[in-house]
Amino acid sequence: MDRGIVYPGSIPLDTDILSPQRDAMIALGWLLQATMGTNTGVVGLACNPTSPASMVVNVGQGAIWSASEIDANAYGSLATDTSPLMKLGILPESAGTNFTLTAPSTSGDSINYLIEATFQESDIDPVVLPYVNPSNPSSPYSGPSNSGTAQNTVRTQIVELQLKAGPAAATGTQTTPATDTGYVPLYVITVAYGQTTVTASNITKASAAPFNGGPFAAINGSAAEAFNVADAATATEALPLGQAQANFAAINGSASEVFNVAAGAGTQAAQFQQLGNLNGYIAPAGTQTLTTTAFGKAVQVSDGAVITLPAAAIPGGLIYLYGGGVGSYSITPNVGQFIWSPSVGFASTSTATLTCAYGESVLLMARNSFEYDIIGGDILLARNTAPQFLNPLTVPDATATEHAVNLGQAQTDFAAINGSASEAFNVSNLYASTGVFSNIQVFTSSGTFTVPAGVTKVKVTVVGGGASGSNCNGTTVGGNGFSGAGGGAGGAAIGIYSVTPGTAYTVTVAAAQTNGNSAGNTSSFGSLASATGGAAVAFFPSTTTSAGSGGGSGTGGTYNFSGGYGSDGQAGSAVFAGNGGNSIFGGAGRAGLNGGVAGQTFGAGGGGAYNSAFGIAGTGAAGIVIVEW
């Protein structure tokens, strides 16, 4: 850093005052570059809602550093200097900077606002300065040559903030505006239709925000240069060796052996759970309420006992319960919770109390603080009388009469149906001799099916689209628009038809719905078979009635099916789970807090939304057309 030299008796110059300021700025700039690099960065500038909450957010004190040049304009009597230099801009005001946001005017829309920042240098604070009057020193001039001209007295370096609004669009599809040239993004604030206050949950840091987060941009040095850190408290913080040794097991093996554990899996119980094992066993006496210590353990329940699940559920936590006697037992969730179960073999997809018969065990997983899901246990097999495998099942060669046989073993060990025992058995011979359909083409979008050469019969399955569930706009149980109904499933038609090789059939596949309260679309195979979509659910935003819609119907098939009805959402003060209707493939979307779940498989109806001022229902699933020959 340069330092000027002055002498007693010498006439002072304006550069004697200006040069030290420029020299200090240059020194600070090089210190910034040495520690932070040459990329733009920011520190501080926290964005928070007001208290009490309003449609205003505040960006607090902070700083920005950015690549610039020493002086693009003359600095007093000092000439311009375009040498590159890192510069520091400051937002010093303790009150920060306020920005007012406006909600979109169309129902169902949201807007993303962007707060961006840039380094700004400018000359400000003009003042009419006194100048020496050589003719009469006791009467100074006002301004240069007594012109009365005001001159800037400060060259300021600040953080310049700016708010940009993106285009309003349907919630979930809105986009964030692009960052302007010369600016860096800081925060994205999402505001929905009807919103009257902004909370911390609406504010997120922009993905490219250059927040430094600490005193140095990077640690530059070899791996041999050790440095100290405090114990880590969050998932993104570095931890010291001692904390790692105390909380994690050593990995014994080569570098190619990789395994994953959830954050915080520092106890032996959590490590066992990560490996799919239970760690520990408890046997509560009679009716009891479990605590969080039951997660990861086997729980033996006595005859007739009622076990209440932990109130403070740990997301992803597992509890395995089984009967310890010869009678039934019950499992009930805590206040405000429910147990979700598969629809096959159960009275409904959610239940307040689950009664288990003798011999039935159940494995529960806490999805969140208010829901437990049945994911395993004997109860699934005991209550599902027609289990199906959705994907191919791989089995070894059968060695006992009760074993399943794999295809390779069947082809090798068994004779062909249309030949002697010495002829190899294969699938193509089976199809040729029995007329069973051996080829399949699946249409998940509209297209054309041309009958292949030699084909005279086809089997066609047509499924219409599922209807979306009903939105909701209420948060008072039993009040207007609190619980939306489920959408009906698409109908289906299945038939075998005589065809001519080379004939082209137009295939129409119902597209999935994109909004709540929408009817499902129709699927068809030429003029031979068609299936309508589930009926639209009426949305009654100012009433306490929301009835589930009916399913679509199939026509033209050897077998025609109607889609399942959607469940009612609300009838007066009575509130129901507005689950969607099942298609012939099942897969209905369930009702959901704030937003329903979409139909999960072809033709299934979407679930209704409940308990939200702007709940969007689950959308109906697309249809499908399957052709076999």
- Token pair, residue 360, equals 């039935």
d(CA 551, CA 531): 10
Bridge partners (DSSP) listed for residue 593: 610
The per-residue pLDDT for 590 is: 92
d(CA 89, CA 40): 11
d(CA 71, CA 78): 9
**Reduced DSSP (H G I as helix, E B as strand, rest coil) percent helix, strand, coil of the chain, to 5:** 10, 30, 55
At residue 433, does pLDDT exceed 50? no
3-state secondary structure 571-624: ECCEECCCCCCCECCECCCCCEECECCCCCCCCCCCCCEECEEEEECCCCCCCE
Please say whether the beta carbons of 600 and 621 come within 8 A.
yes
Q: 382 Cβ partners below 8 Å, 6+ apart?
A: 345, 357, 359, 360
Specify if 260 maps to a domain: no
For the chain, the farthest-separated pair of C-alpha atoms sits apart, in whole angstroms, at 132
Residue with tokens 């490219």: 208
**Higher pLDDT residue, 117 or 593?**
117
Specify if 626 maps to a domain: yes
Identify whether residues 475 and 348 lie together within a single domain.
Answer: no
Q: 514 Cβ partners below 8 Å, 6+ apart?
A: 619
Alpha-carbon separation of residue 176 from 55, 203, 286, 470 (angstroms): 18, 13, 56, 28
- Token pair, residue 574, equals 């009575």
Cis peptide before 8 (omega within 30 of 0): no
Closest CA to 509 of 604, 623, 627: 623
Please say whether the beta carbons of 593 and 613 come within 8 A.
no
CA dihedral of 341, 343, 347, 349, whole degrees rounded to 10? 50
Last residue of a domain, one of 205, 222, 240: 205
Q: How confident is the model over 471-508, as pLDDT tens digits? A: 888 888 878 888 889 999 999 999 999 999 999 999 99
CA 269 to chain centre: 29
Please say whether the beta carbons of 300 and 281 come within 8 A.
yes
Specify if 538 maps to a domain: yes
Q: Domain containing 330 — which CATH number?
A: 2.60.120
Specify if 265 maps to a domain: no
d(CA 174, CA 166): 8
Specify if 232 maps to a domain: no
Please say whether the beta carbons of 217 and 37 come within 8 A.
yes
d(CA 541, CA 282): 49
The per-residue pLDDT for 222 is: 42
Taking residues 165-192, report their average pLDDT.
97
Identify whether residues 486 and 416 lie together within a single domain.
Answer: no
Q: How confident is the model over 58-95, as pLDDT tens digits? A: 999 999 999 999 999 999 899 999 999 999 999 988 88
d(CA 119, CA 112): 24
Specify if 305 maps to a domain: yes
The per-residue pLDDT for 333 is: 87
Taking residues 174-186, report their average pLDDT.
97
CA 39 to chain centre: 31
User: In the structure, what pLDDT confidence band is assigned to residue 407 with cuts at 50, 70 and 90?
Assistant: confident
Find the length of the chain: 629
Specify if 102 maps to a domain: yes
Last residue of a domain, one of 362, 383, 404: 383
Bridge partners (DSSP) listed for residue 616: 595
At residue 341, does pLDDT exceed 80? no
Least confident residue range of 58-72, 256-270, 530-544: 256-270
Residue 580 phi/psi, 5° resolution?
-75, 170
d(CA 162, CA 532): 52
Q: 270 Cβ partners below 8 Å, 6+ apart?
A: 261, 262, 264, 296
- Indicate the average pLDDT of the chain: 85
Cα first-last separation, the chain: 86
CA 500 to chain centre: 49
Cα radius of gyration rounded to whole Å, the chain: 36
Least confident residue range of 201-205, 434-438, 448-452, 524-528: 434-438
Closest CA to 457 of 497, 491, 485, 429: 497
With residue 19 as reference, give the H or E element that holds it.
helix 15-36
Identify whether residues 404 and 333 lie together within a single domain.
Answer: no
Identify whether residues 476 and 543 lie together within a single domain.
Answer: yes
Identify whether residues 375 and 395 lie together within a single domain.
Answer: no
- Token pair, residue 69, equals 């040049």
Closest CA to 508 of 418, 553, 558, 446: 446
Q: What letter represents residue 461's amino acid?
A: T
The winner for highest mean pLDDT among 225-234, 291-300, 366-375, 442-451 is: 442-451
Residue with tokens 């209905």: 588
Please say whether the beta carbons of 66 and 34 come within 8 A.
no
User: Around Cβ 268, how many Cβ atoms within 10 Å?
Assistant: 12
Identify whether residues 483 and 546 lie together within a single domain.
Answer: yes
Identify whether residues 278 and 312 lie together within a single domain.
Answer: yes
- For the beta sheet containing 371-376, the strands, ordered from the edge strand earlier in sequence to the opposite edge, are 281-282, 298-301, 318-323, 362-368, 371-376, 338-340, 350-351
Q: Which residues span the domain enclosing 426? A: 389-436
Last residue of a domain, one of 383, 400, 424: 383
d(CA 472, CA 607): 11
With residue 27 as reference, give the H or E element that holds it.
helix 15-36
Query: Residue ranges of the alpha helices (H) in 448-495?
Result: none
What total number of domains does the chain contain? Answer: 4
Identify whether residues 452 and 484 lie together within a single domain.
Answer: yes
Identify whether residues 28 and 41 lie together within a single domain.
Answer: yes
Identify whether residues 192 and 309 lie together within a single domain.
Answer: no
At residue 277, does pLDDT exceed 80? no
Residue 247 phi/psi, 5° resolution?
-115, -15
Strands 472-474 and 612-615: antiparallel
Measured CA angle at 624 (ends 623, 629), to 5 deg: 160
Taking residues 156-164, report their average pLDDT.
96
User: In the structure, what pLDDT confidence band is assigned to residue 285 with cuts at 50, 70 and 90?
Assistant: confident
Residue 85 phi/psi, 5° resolution?
-160, 140
Please say whether the beta carbons of 356 and 327 come within 8 A.
no
The per-residue pLDDT for 258 is: 46
Q: Is 429 helix (H, G, I), strand (E, B) or coil?
A: helix
**Higher pLDDT residue, 260 or 356?**
356
d(CA 108, CA 111): 11
Identify whether residues 290 and 360 lie together within a single domain.
Answer: yes
- Token pair, residue 32, equals 């910034």
Closest CA to 537 of 452, 618, 593: 618
Q: How confident is the model over 470-481, as pLDDT tens digits? A: 988 888 887 888
Please return the burial class of 189, using the count of CB atoms within 10 Å of its CB with bins 0-12, 13-18 and 19+: buried
User: Around Cβ 587, how many Cβ atoms within 10 Å?
Assistant: 20
Please say whether the beta carbons of 11 and 60 come within 8 A.
no
Specify if 269 maps to a domain: no
CA 76 to chain centre: 55
The per-residue pLDDT for 268 is: 46
Identify whether residues 493 and 428 lie together within a single domain.
Answer: no
